[in-house]
């Protein structure tokens, strides 16, 4: 949907001078938005709101900018405020639905998408979003209805590597017996760079071995950086951009025992090479289990992968079975890392209260799809936090917090996207 909006409802008493200045600031924010400078757009929308807090469009536009930044908690709050001001502001329903959908609150999103569809029955984008959300709600209801008490058999248990024959014509990297070799990974990167497919036997071998490694790790992984390392690299969202990943390795060096990495979630979706990205990352996890780390992001989930493309890509390049195995692996990804007992790294937001203890994160039962609420949800998705609260206080005894996207323009935030 395009920017702009409907006329707002009853306004607070604002002088003509302030109203004119606010409109000027809104227009400047729109220019930043069009240039994809979303953080600056948010700052100027906020200035407009400070001068005239009675305009629904200002909140709606800022909500849209927060959606672009994947700060879904803030987007939800702004959209709700816009609708409190003007219940006829259709884009407010659309923004709120988009935020709720990203947060996994599909029933709430469906209600708002339905309102948009009724108001704009010829808006094909709104109809498509409604149908997509409605499909997910029905899938969830069906899954709940057929759920049984007994545990489901793991897909990994049904995979037999011995029955998978590697054809003589296959010219790609080979991982035969024993532990993975560095040469296999360098060969894999070169092979994938030429847009060639890794043989399914070796792809499954990477997945099965990485699953074993993740299963043995806690939800919060304590990382000790070796003295031989003069740096520890934390990388944000890759989102299927394989050639960006290769560029990172070119500029910063390949992972090794002396060059450790942490990739902080959202490895897949959106980009066209999510399979190549995730196989490369999981391969390095297998090669250097104690020096290469991966955290779960909000896109490592079934619903997000269905909406943003990873499921379809895996099925097209390999099989439904492999997609099911990826889902099992994502469920076992750690949720946070604590570097040198001082730096907490999470993909999503911070906690709504101070004094959260490390033990509360360690004790999270993560082997499942992310819930809508609770610590599990918070560490995967950016949420609201009271402006002015020091970020380091979110972790009891912590010194610094790294997160994928800063939830607000606070000077104490560290952005490593």
- Predicted confidence at residue 409, as pLDDT, reads 36
Helix (H) or strand (E) holding 346: strand 343-346
CATH 1.25.40.10 domain position(s) in the chain:
16-146
Angstrom distance (rounded) from CA 73 to CA 78: 9
Angstrom distance (rounded) from CA 265 to CA 343: 17
- Predicted confidence at residue 174, as pLDDT, reads 96
Q: Tell me which CATH homologous superfamily contains domain 16-146.
A: Tetratricopeptide repeat domain (1.25.40.10)
At 12 the three-state DSSP class reads coil
Which of 378, 374, 376 has its CA nearest to residue 349? 378
Confidence of residue 383 (pLDDT cuts 50, 70, 90): low
The residue ranking higher by pLDDT, 125 or 413, is 125
Residue 19 pLDDT > 80: yes
State mean pLDDT over 387-406.
40
Contact indicator for 45, 58 with CB cutoff of 8 Å: yes
Contact indicator for 175, 243 with CB cutoff of 8 Å: no
Cβ-count burial of 346 within 10 angstroms (0-12 exposed, 13-18 middle, 19+ buried)?
Answer: buried
State mean pLDDT over 36-49.
96
The residue ranking higher by pLDDT, 401 or 164, is 164
Q: What is the DSSP string of 371-401?
A: PSSSHHHHHHS-----TT--GGGGBTT-SEE
- Predicted confidence at residue 2, as pLDDT, reads 39
Per-residue pLDDT tens over the stretch 249-274: 999 999 999 999 999 999 999 889 99
- Predicted confidence at residue 53, as pLDDT, reads 95
State mean pLDDT over 98-119.
89
Residues in CB range of 131: below 8 A, 6 or more apart: none
Contact indicator for 404, 72 with CB cutoff of 8 Å: no
Strands 336-339 and 343-346: antiparallel
- Predicted confidence at residue 150, as pLDDT, reads 40
Angstrom distance (rounded) from CA 48 to CA 36: 19
Confidence of residue 227 (pLDDT cuts 50, 70, 90): confident
Q: Which two tokens stand for residue 237?
A: 């969202």
- Predicted confidence at residue 228, as pLDDT, reads 75
Pick the CATH number of 155-403 from 3.10.150.10, 3.30.420.40, 3.60.21.10, 3.40.640.10: 3.60.21.10
**What's the distance, CA 300 to chain centroid?**
7
The residue ranking higher by pLDDT, 129 or 318, is 318
Confidence of residue 87 (pLDDT cuts 50, 70, 90): very high
Residue 415 pLDDT > 80: no
Cα distances from 229 to residues 225, 233, 238, in angstroms, run 7, 10, 24
- Predicted confidence at residue 378, as pLDDT, reads 78
Residue 388 pLDDT > 80: no
Residues in CB range of 325: below 8 A, 6 or more apart: 155, 156, 159, 204, 207, 208, 211
What is the DSSP code (8-state) at residue 222? E
Q: pTM of the predicted model, to two decimals?
A: 0.75
CATH 3.60.21.10 domain position(s) in the chain:
155-403
Catalytic residue among 199, 239, 299, 347: 299
Cβ-count burial of 147 within 10 angstroms (0-12 exposed, 13-18 middle, 19+ buried)?
Answer: exposed
State mean pLDDT over 175-202.
95
Confidence of residue 350 (pLDDT cuts 50, 70, 90): low
- Predicted confidence at residue 143, as pLDDT, reads 65
Confidence of residue 349 (pLDDT cuts 50, 70, 90): low
- Predicted confidence at residue 416, as pLDDT, reads 33
Per-residue pLDDT tens over the stretch 268-317: 998 899 999 999 999 999 999 999 999 999 899 988 898 888 999 999 99
In the residue annotation, 239 being an active-site residue is answered as: no
Confidence of residue 135 (pLDDT cuts 50, 70, 90): confident
């Amino acid at each position: 949907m395009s920017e702009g909006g409907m006329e707002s409802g009853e306004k607070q008493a604002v002088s003509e001078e302030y109203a004119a200045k606010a409109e000027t600031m809104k227009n400047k924010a729109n220019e930043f938005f069009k240039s994809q400078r979303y953080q600056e757009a948010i700052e100027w929308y906020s200035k407009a709101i400070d001068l005239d807090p009675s305009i629904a469009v200002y909140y709606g536009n800022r909500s849209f900018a927060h959606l672009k930044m994947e700060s879904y908690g803030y987007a939800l709050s702004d959209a709700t405020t816009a609708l409190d001001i003007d219940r006829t502001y259709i884009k407010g329903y659309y923004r709120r639905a988009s935020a709720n959908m990203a947060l996994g609150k599909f029933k709430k999103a469906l209600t708002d998408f339905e309102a948009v569809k009724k108001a704009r029955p010829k808006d094909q984008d709104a109809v498509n979003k409604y149908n997509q959300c409605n499909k997910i709600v029905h899938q969830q209801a069906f899954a709940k209805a057929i759920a049984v008490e007994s545990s489901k058999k793991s897909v990994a248990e049904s995979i037999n590597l011995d029955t998978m024959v590697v054809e003589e014509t296959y010219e790609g990297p080979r991982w035969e017996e024993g532990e993975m070799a560095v040469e296999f990974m360098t060969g894999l990167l070169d092979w994938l760079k030429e847009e060639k497919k890794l043989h399914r036997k070796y792809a499954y071998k990477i997945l099965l071995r990485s699953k074993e490694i993740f299963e043995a790790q806690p939800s919060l992984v304590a990382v000790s950086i070796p003295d031989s390392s003069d740096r520890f690299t934390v990388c944000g969202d890759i989102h299927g951009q394989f050639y960006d990943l290769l560029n990172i390795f070119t500029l910063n060096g390949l992972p090794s025992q002396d060059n450790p990495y942490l990739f902080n979630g959202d490895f897949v979706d959106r980009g066209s090479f999510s399979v190549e990205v995730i196989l490369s990352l999981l391969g390095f996890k297998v090669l250097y289990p104690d020096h290469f780390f991966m955290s779960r992001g909000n896109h490592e989930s079934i619903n997000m992968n269905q909406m943003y493309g990873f499921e379809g890509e895996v099925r097209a390049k390999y099989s439904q079975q492999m997609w099911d195995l990826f889902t099992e692996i994502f469920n076992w990804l750690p949720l946070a890392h604590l570097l040198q007992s001082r730096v907490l790294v999470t993909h999503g937001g911070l906690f709504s209260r101070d004094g959260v203890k490390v033990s509360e994160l360690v004790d999270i039962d993560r082997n499942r799809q992310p819930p809508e609420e609770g610590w599990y949800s918070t560490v995967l998705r950016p949420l609201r936090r009271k402006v002015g609260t020091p970020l380091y206080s979110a972790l009891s005894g912590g010194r610094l917090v790294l997160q994928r996207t800063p939830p607000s323009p606070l000077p104490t935030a560290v952005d490593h996207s």
